[in-house]
Amino acid sequence: MVLPVVKLGTLALKTLSKPVAAKLKQQAAIHPRFRQFIVSIAQANHRITTRMQRRIYGHATGGEIRPLNEEKAVQAAVDLIGEIFIFTVAGAAVIFEVQRSARSEARKEEIRKQELEALRQRDEGLARELELLRQKIEELEQLAKQRGLSGIFSFKHATADEAKLAKPA
């Protein structure tokens, strides 16, 4: 029951992050100081991506890179901010899901360890009980020998004799 609710919540969070990112983009373009900040980020991003493209395509990298005009820079920056926001939300959802799954697996592993420990203890208890029964049989055989009833309680010898009869030599 918990798994479908968590997955549904994760999907809802991803879906809701897109309008929030759009609102964030809209507000980022309006505020003057933030606008200057994002323009400088957009220009730096433009320079980096242009250099990378030039290197990939084998063009000269030493030439001057023309800066974006302010509107294009703002648009590029708010798009970048929106994508980073959506990516962050999706990444957080994935991290949450992985941690939840790891906790679930750890609980299952702990239960398996407890079951194994219970089986080991049961095995040890049965081994002790078996040893106790062997000791009691030995004591009974000793008492039988002392009282002359060795033929009645001679279990080991009787099974050995039956084995000899079953195997023709």
Query: Where are the domains positioned within the chain?
Result: 2-166
* pLDDT reading at 156 higher than 60: no
* pLDDT reading at 104 higher than 80: yes
Average pLDDT over residues 135-141: 92
Q: Are the C-beta atoms of 25 and 75 separated by less than 8 Å?
A: no
Q: Give the separation between CA 24 and CA 33, rounded to whole angstroms.
A: 15
- pLDDT of 6: 66
Question: Which sign, positive or negative, has the C-alpha torsion 66, 71, 76, 80?
Answer: positive
* pLDDT reading at 169 higher than 50: no
Q: How far, CA to CA in Å, does 18 sit from each of 9, 14, 22, 86, 167?
A: 15, 7, 6, 6, 84
Q: Give the separation between CA 154 and CA 163, rounded to whole angstroms.
A: 14
Average pLDDT over residues 117-131: 96
Highest mean pLDDT among 3-12, 85-94, 117-126, 147-156: 117-126
